Structure 1
Amino acid sequence: MSDSLWLTIVGLGEDGPDGLSPASLKALSEAEVIMGAPRHLSLLPPLSCDTVEWPVPYADGIALLLEKRGKKTVVLASGDPFWHGAGGTLAKHLERGEWRSIPSPSTLSLAAAALGWSLESTVTLGLHAAPFARLRPHLAKGTRAIVTLRDGNAVTEFAGWLSKIGFGDSTLHVMEALGGPNERIRATTAQDMAFDDINHPVSVAISAKGGPALSQSSGQPDAFFDNDGQITKRPVRALTLSALAPQPGEHLWDIGGGSGSIAIEWLLAHGQNAATSVEINPDRANRIRENATALGADRLKVVTGAAPQALEDLAPPDAVFIGGGISEDMLQTVWRQLPAQSRLVANAVTLEAETLLASWHAKFGGDLLRIELAHATPLGRKRGWKSSYPIVQWSVSK
């Protein structure tokens, strides 16, 4: 064991020290300081060492912990500290050789064991400090998911949210204090949720039923995006996202966000993707945030301002989409800031913007695509084709 090791992160179950590994028990017995939430500290027997209640909000406790550097310190966490727990947060502030983690079974492991669900085919999310809509991209008929929630009231709110978005027939397994003497598991449907005595800590397992589900391909229905008419419509959006070609972990600039549909679908493509939407209209910027939150893409960063000025302090992109306000100045600024091998896609509707894209295509290459769509609409007692404005799309890798 390293001489610099001073911190041990111990994962507790609801039965306290019972069932802990010898290594965990040894760390607790040798500790000079034990830090943890009041609920965790209450699970331990009387202690002779110093104890510190971790403050709320959680981030306020980091400085208190770092002041203990050099003393044998134990931080208490729930179950596996590195599954939606304290471990990932603490590790960012520590050197690798000065800490270790000793996990107990996580909530998801205990829940899966209680229900007989295979974890590899079950969605697992920590929603105790995150919007319920983080689950939205995963919801479809037959989906199984296990989520942690803040408290009993949050379970009722969660059931109401599921019902509101069309999944009220889903079966919910409400699981309290898993692994401890007060463990309790009850089942109901989201729309029939009536439990009023749910105790913390609580998790919920969902067998999803209902809809509509989000598609796994590009081009979600337009109805998913609240808008004032400024939206890249579904067929064009599908072609645009195909040209942008999102890859895991990449960052998109969406310039002229409108409803946010391009940036949101970029984020839905992979959970590690990032996106920044730039929108000059404050009302539309707020609508983008609301759309992103509703569809489980609340990590979308929205900048209210005019491009290209609003682009100055943004993290470098891997891809850029220009959906409005195309100008020579805009293209010059974006091209200058675009890292090598990054991708640029721009859509033009006006003749002036089309001419500009044709000029840049002549200089820098890439693909120039003209998109012409027509929809069947009533024409007297029959039907005819109604054409939309043609769109010229330029896509290029720098």
Structure 2
Amino acid sequence: MMGKISLIGLGDDGCVSLSSRSINEIAMAESLAGAERHLAFFPQFSGEIIEFTSGLNAYISRIIEQAKTQDVCVLASGDPLFFGLGSRLIAAVQAAQLPIEVMVLPNVSSVQLACAKTLMSSNDLVTLSVHGRALKGLVAKLQQYDAVALLTDHENTPVVVAKYLAQFDESEWSVAVCENLAGCNERIGHYSITELIQLDEQHFSRLNVMLLRRGNQPYWGGYTQHCADEAYHSRSPLNGLITKASVRAIAVAKLGLRRDSVMWDIGAGSGSIGIEAAKQTWQGQVFSVECNPDCHPLIESNQRRHKVDNLTLIKQKAPLGLAELPRPNAIFIGGTRGQVDPIIDVAINALHPKGTLILSAVTLDSVAQFYQLCQQRQLQFEVLMLQHAHSQPLAQYQRYQAENPIHLFVITKEDNS
């Protein structure tokens, strides 16, 4: 006969945080699983103990194996289904295709406690986590919100997080650090980013939640989704190596990006296409590939300026380095340095089905070359010829100044290609 798994949320104040139903489940269980600090609240438990020391997969496997014959009670912090053990455990039980019943009895989450302690409304609060995750991409996510709860860990401490935000001039946030909530050593502190970066990186308890509230911090560094050319540092003369604003807006729109897309910008120049793409795919990743060392500081400067830390600069000549990148949903190719055929072969092969690849052609030679390339490879494509003009003063009058026409080859990868 199969046992069952009862997943019990526990506060840092131990047994007093539990409902009578949770206490009864623990008392009736034949095995009790949890971390050392959770198990310490139940020294009287006489059944089998499954302690979580390290290796989450192995821990979950032990719980499921035990639940084949026994009722197992699993202790977890707060709400187990809120950035906790619950989702992984339930998925593992379902994957095992065993008739094991799983019951969840949640407690108050750490974020709920933090809001209560700081009297901060959670109506518009969004929770993000850097617990066991890289900080990269956090700044781009913060551009979407005014109030954020941030779950940290022993490496990405509140001080480390603050130093990372300061690198992108994200200093206009008020921060509450809530430590050991509901425990004996509970502590609530209020800081600015500037104050936090002065502290030792291990100043706070490992059990903490950061609450961030936007002050005068502008979104995306004060720039809009699509910007004028002057919003970017670019090479001289002639404001070179930048796709003009009107073309850039159409090209990025044609890429069909979602908020979690992966995008490659090959021949990035000053990085403007990748940066505006990164603002759209703020939960995803953008990889700007550029081999010209003169462009690298420009791209990095523009990245910080526009707060797109979800963009990664690849300092190689394509197609080198492309094979190591995550598979893209969209690709923009603004420059090939004579390597168009091998770049296209790698790019089309890597692109997700129904993904979009855009080739930008400035010269008549490249237009003819790209057209033949698409025909030879039997690619599904359309060509946009973009030509625009903007007003310029002429004495007391206004005249039109025409820009060079640009051809965009918009290629859609078929399902079976």
TM value normalised by structure 2: 0.71
- Deviation larger for 185-194 or 152-161: 152-161
What does residue 409 of structure 2 align with? 394
Q: Secondary structure at the match of 2:12?
A: coil
Question: What displacement does 1:307 show?
Answer: 4.0
- Deviation larger for 26-35 or 320-329: 320-329
- Deviation larger for 80-89 or 135-144: 135-144
**Cα distance in 2, alignment partners of residues 222 and 37 from structure 1:** 55
Which of the residues 165, 187, 192 maps onto 1:189?
Answer: 192
1:354 equivalent in alignment to 2:367: yes
What does residue 36 of structure 1 align with? 34
Asked whether the 8 Å contact 2:290–2:314 carries over to 1, the reply is no
1:86 equivalent in alignment to 2:89: no
Question: What displacement does 1:267 show?
Answer: 5.2
Question: What displacement does 1:216 show?
Answer: 6.2
Question: What displacement does 1:152 show?
Answer: 9.7
Distance 1:330 1:134, change over 3 A: closer
Look up the equivalent residue of 1:344 and give its one-letter code: L
Asked whether the 8 Å contact 1:167–1:209 carries over to 2, the reply is no
Distance 1:314 1:107, change over 3 A: closer
Q: Secondary structure at the match of 1:179?
A: coil
**Cα distance in 1, alignment partners of residues 292 and 14 from structure 2:** 51
**Cα distance in 2, alignment partners of residues 60 and 222 from structure 1:** 54
**Cα distance in 2, alignment partners of residues 319 and 142 from structure 1:** 26
What does residue 169 of structure 2 align with? 166
Q: Secondary structure at the match of 1:94?
A: helix
**Cα distance in 1, alignment partners of residues 349 and 170 from structure 2:** 47
**Cα distance in 1, alignment partners of residues 41 and 349 from structure 2:** 58
**Cα distance in 1, alignment partners of residues 48 and 316 from structure 2:** 49
**Cα distance in 2, alignment partners of residues 4 and 234 from structure 1:** 64
What does residue 395 of structure 2 align with? none
Distance 1:344 1:68, change over 3 A: same
- Deviation larger for 260-269 or 73-82: 260-269
Aligned pairs (5 A) from 1:15-54: 15-54=13-52
**Cα distance in 2, alignment partners of residues 313 and 195 from structure 1:** 36
Question: When the two structures are aligned, how many residues end up with a matched partner?
Answer: 386
**Cα distance in 1, alignment partners of residues 386 and 26 from structure 2:** 68
Asked whether the 8 Å contact 1:368–1:393 carries over to 2, the reply is yes
TM value normalised by structure 1: 0.74
Asked whether the 8 Å contact 2:139–2:165 carries over to 1, the reply is no
Unaligned 5+ runs, structure 2: 393-399
Q: Secondary structure at the match of 1:92?
A: helix
Asked whether the 8 Å contact 1:5–1:100 carries over to 2, the reply is no
Asked whether the 8 Å contact 2:171–2:217 carries over to 1, the reply is no
Question: What displacement does 1:202 show?
Answer: 0.8
**Cα distance in 1, alignment partners of residues 266 and 401 from structure 2:** 29
Asked whether the 8 Å contact 1:7–1:72 carries over to 2, the reply is yes
What does residue 370 of structure 1 align with? 386
Aligned pairs (5 A) from 1:292-331: 295-297=308-310, 307=319, 315=327, 318-325=329-336, 327-328=340-341, 331=344
- Deviation digits for residues 368-390 of structure 1, max 9, x if unmatched? 133568999xxxxxxxx999875
What does residue 207 of structure 1 align with? 213
Look up the equivalent residue of 1:94 and give its one-letter code: V
Question: What displacement does 1:54 show?
Answer: 1.6
**Cα distance in 1, alignment partners of residues 143 and 350 from structure 2:** 40
**Cα distance in 2, alignment partners of residues 170 and 280 from structure 1:** 34
**Cα distance in 1, alignment partners of residues 264 and 357 from structure 2:** 9
Asked whether the 8 Å contact 2:5–2:71 carries over to 1, the reply is yes
- Deviation digits for residues 107-140 of structure 1, max 9, x if unmatched? 1122223333332412211223233454312446
What does residue 245 of structure 1 align with? 256
Question: What displacement does 1:213 show?
Answer: 3.0
- Deviation larger for 258-267 or 172-181: 258-267
**Cα distance in 1, alignment partners of residues 43 and 292 from structure 2:** 55
**Cα distance in 1, alignment partners of residues 316 and 38 from structure 2:** 43
**Cα distance in 2, alignment partners of residues 128 and 340 from structure 1:** 33
Question: What displacement does 1:350 show?
Answer: 4.5
Asked whether the 8 Å contact 2:252–2:277 carries over to 1, the reply is yes
- Deviation digits for residues 168-201 of structure 1, max 9, x if unmatched? 3432212112233433212122212366753331
Distance 1:209 1:47, change over 3 A: same
Question: What displacement does 1:62 show?
Answer: 3.8
Unaligned 5+ runs, structure 1: 377-384
In percent, how many aligned pairs have the same letter? 25
Aligned pairs (5 A) from 1:286-297: 295-297=308-310
- Deviation larger for 250-259 or 85-94: 250-259
**Cα distance in 2, alignment partners of residues 189 and 318 from structure 1:** 38
